[in-house]
Structure 1
Amino acid sequence: MAGLGLTATELGPEGFLPADPAERSALLARYGLRAVGGFVPVVLHEPGHDPLPGLREALAGFGEDMVVVLAAATGADGYDVRPELDAGGWRTLLGNLDRIRREIGLPVTLHPHVGTMVETREEVDRVLDGCEAALCLDTGHLLAGGTDPLDLARRAPGRIAHVHLKDVDDALAARVRAGVLTYTAAVRAGMYRPLGRGDVDVAGIVAALGGAGYDGWYVMEQDVVLDAEPPEGAGPVEDVRASVAALGGLG
């Protein structure tokens, strides 16, 4: 990351960085990096289940300026299938989002994500209308789930507190939306592209958010499935280098 010019990172999956905050900070500092947030899947929709104790435990290593990137987990492994929520499930989910926002004491955003309880445009709008939670604008997951991320950036900029920048091959994403291809198979097939090489209007999104006064982080992400160690200097490293160059071109 440091060699490619990045200055910060989210925590990544469990085990990617040290769990101990002091050890992690020392490691990142050696490379001129800082931790700015982390992805935390949490079951929010089950009546009778209080997500706060488990969430507090998961956030024990978060610094006070780090962004909590919540996903409304289904409770099952993977992102290829999910249940449908009834009215009671939605009331519980929305109520828990507002409780977490009030009680956690850290910046909290909800990440609409394929294969979670908040995936489609209708579900994103239900969150916007039904609670006060801020959003993580993940350009790739939104587009894959049927939401135009540029439209969302323009119509609800005040609700966006964190951004994940991804680019997407929308032809593959459309097959996921149609149920022809699983999400995992689409990622394996290269649904996520380096920035500027897919169908997301990254420049338009950055311009729209900047014009609305957004001053949070832009976290570059590109999900991949690796079946083997790529050759030195190839694979994801090249994709990140291309994405950094594309972002630099935005000024």
Structure 2
Amino acid sequence: MTSAMPATPTPAGRPLVPAERVAAAPISWGVCEVPGWGHQLAADRVLGEMRDLGITATEFGPDGFLPAGPVERSALLGWYGLRPVGGFVPLVLHDPGHDPLPDLARALDSFGDARTVVLAAATGLDGYDGRPVLDGENWAALLRNLGRAAEHAAGRGHLATLHPHVGTVVERREEVDRVLSGSDVALCLDTGHLLIGGTDPLELARSAAGRIAHVHLKDVDAALAEAVQTGRTGYTAAVRDGIYRPLGRGDIDVPGIVRALEGAGYGGWYVLEQDTVLSAEPGQGGGPRDDVRAALAFLRGEAA
């Protein structure tokens, strides 16, 4: 079960993370690859609000959110003063009869110079509210294909990381451990998805720091996380109900995690992700940007 974690104190006025290593993600504005997820904001609004908040880098978001061509994509982000960090690529890795490399190759065609590929071990189903149980053959295929995907990405100048993610086939702690012991692929440490899946993200940051190459920073309502774990509510419903909180307003020890990573020599990105579901277009000057602003203030040491 999930329980609240005592937070490591953050001195007021002292930034927790260097501003030049903070990036955003369109999912904080409700932009998601899942069909029927919610109202989808246009790129010009999302990117403009990132710029207005002083953010200088972002992940790509789902297919169709940005132009597919790497030159056009880079030009659009540059117009808003944003550097491309990389993007989320869900792949079916566990099916012995399916080759994930063509799907990965198509995704990488849009990456340009963006380095980080955030892989998820997708179920092959839409959404994140159900998942299959893998047998030994499935696990062998997953680990084999994960290595192949990382090698393919590296051959094209990108770093592949695996993102343990609710509603994928690598969600729970025993599954994370199986990837750690059965492969040498780097991890994306997503503080929220790990906690909801039953992994203490602070403990993982301490025990596996050398495998962590990318970070998604989230804060989480532990009571809602427990409801997802026990099946009392579905994941999508929990996101709609506010399972993700602005940094510092949930139950994850974000300062402790950052300090553990920095102390171990982590030098990568911290991507702000507060997944949300929108029912309609927010009024100008409000909506998701307020939560992102609060998270940025926390990282800058400005939050109470």
Q: Same fold (TM over 0.5)?
A: yes
Quick check: 1:157–1:212 contact (8 Å CA) kept in 2?
A: yes
State the alpha-carbon separation in 1 of the partners of residues 63 and 249 from structure 2.
Answer: 29
- Aligned-residue offset at 1:176: 0.3
Map 1:5-16; keep pairs closer than 5 Å.
Answer: 5-16=54-65
SS of alignment partner, residue 24 of structure 1: helix
Q: TM-score, normalised by structure 1?
A: 0.97
Partner of 1:139: 191
- How many residues align? The count is 250
Q: RMSD of aligned C-alpha atoms?
A: 1.1
1:17 aligns with 2:66: yes
State the alpha-carbon separation in 2 of the partners of residues 173 and 43 from structure 1.
Answer: 25
Partner of 2:141: 92
Quick check: 1:121–1:146 contact (8 Å CA) kept in 2?
A: yes
Partner of 1:179: 231
State the alpha-carbon separation in 1 of the partners of residues 80 and 107 from structure 2.
Answer: 25
Q: Which runs of 5+ in 2 are unaligned?
A: 1-49
1:103 aligns with 2:152: yes
Deviation beyond 6 Å, 4+ runs, structure 1? none
Q: TM-score, normalised by structure 2?
A: 0.80
Aligned residue identity for 1:67: T
Q: Which moved more, 1:36-45 or 1:102-111?
A: 102-111
Partner of 2:265: 213
1:32 aligns with 2:81: yes
1:159 aligns with 2:211: yes
Partner of 2:182: 130
Aligned residue identity for 1:141: H
1:60 aligns with 2:112: no
Cα deviation 1:107-140 (Å, max 9, x = unaligned): 0000000000000011111110111110000001
- Aligned-residue offset at 1:19: 1.4
1:203 aligns with 2:252: no
1:242 aligns with 2:294: yes
Aligned residue identity for 2:252: V
Quick check: 2:219–2:245 contact (8 Å CA) kept in 1?
A: yes
State the alpha-carbon separation in 2 of the partners of residues 228 and 57 from structure 1.
Answer: 32
Quick check: 1:164–1:219 contact (8 Å CA) kept in 2?
A: yes
State the alpha-carbon separation in 2 of the partners of residues 102 and 66 from structure 1.
Answer: 14
Quick check: 2:69–2:109 contact (8 Å CA) kept in 1?
A: no
State the alpha-carbon separation in 1 of the partners of residues 132 and 172 from structure 2.
Answer: 13
State the alpha-carbon separation in 2 of the partners of residues 157 and 172 from structure 1.
Answer: 27
Q: Which moved more, 1:224-233 or 1:107-116?
A: 224-233
Aligned residue identity for 2:291: D
Partner of 2:281: 229
State the alpha-carbon separation in 2 of the partners of residues 90 and 197 from structure 1.
Answer: 37
State the alpha-carbon separation in 2 of the partners of residues 24 and 65 from structure 1.
Answer: 11
SS of alignment partner, residue 98 of structure 1: helix
- Aligned-residue offset at 1:103: 2.6
SS of alignment partner, residue 96 of structure 1: helix
Quick check: 1:8–1:34 contact (8 Å CA) kept in 2?
A: yes
Partner of 1:117: 169
SS of alignment partner, residue 102 of structure 1: helix
State the alpha-carbon separation in 2 of the partners of residues 238 and 92 from structure 1.
Answer: 43
